[in-house]
């Protein structure tokens, strides 16, 4: 009887540990955000680093598609909030503004605003920016 109880206790402990590890992994990963982060970096950093808007101009249709894909992805529970949903709506609005920008200056402003909206989403995921350097992409 002791062996049966020991086996049950061991199985219960192992199950609880595996469940906790899975929950922790889910909390640490948001593939849609990680994927979009790379797209954002490719569009934003040439502008940020050297005022080069060419990647934003030539890849705007792809960028819009990736923004829509990111916005349509299921939100993890931790960021399924009205604030994050509003940041997604603002991100999509900035892409629309990029598409209709009448000058490089306005395109740059909208790109900077899109980057800011993305960081609002990312910082919500990382718990208010703890553990994430704002300008590292």
Distance CA 35, CA 54 (A): 21
| Res 123 pLDDT > 50 | yes
Angle at 19 between CA 17 and CA 22, to 5 degrees: 110
Residues 136, 89: contact at Cβ < 8 Å?
Answer: no
User: Which phi and psi angles does 59 have, rounded to 5°?
Assistant: -115, 20
Distance CA 101, CA 116 (A): 18
**Higher pLDDT pick, 6 / 132:** 6
pLDDT digits (tens, 9 = 90+) for 21-38: 444 444 568 999 999 999
pLDDT digits (tens, 9 = 90+) for 61-91: 999 999 999 999 999 999 999 999 999 999 9
How does DSSP classify residue 79?
G
Is this model's pTM higher than 0.75 or not? no
């Amino acid at each position: 009887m002791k062996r049966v109880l020991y086996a049950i206790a061991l199985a219960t402990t192992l199950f609880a540990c595996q469940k906790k590890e899975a929950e922790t992994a889910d909390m640490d990963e948001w593939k849609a955000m990680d994927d979009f982060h790379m797209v954002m970096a490719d569009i934003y950093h040439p502008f940020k680093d050297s005022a080069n808007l060419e990647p934003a101009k030539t890849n705007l249709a792809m960028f819009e598609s990736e923004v829509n894909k990111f916005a349509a992805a299921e939100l993890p529970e931790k960021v399924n909030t009205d604030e994050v949903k509003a940041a997604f709506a603002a991100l999509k609005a900035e892409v629309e503004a990029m598409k209709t920008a009448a000058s490089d200056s306005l395109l740059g402003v909208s790109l900077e605003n899109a980057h800011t909206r993305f960081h609002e989403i990312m910082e919500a995921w990382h718990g208010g920016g703890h553990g994430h350097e704002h300008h590292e992409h």
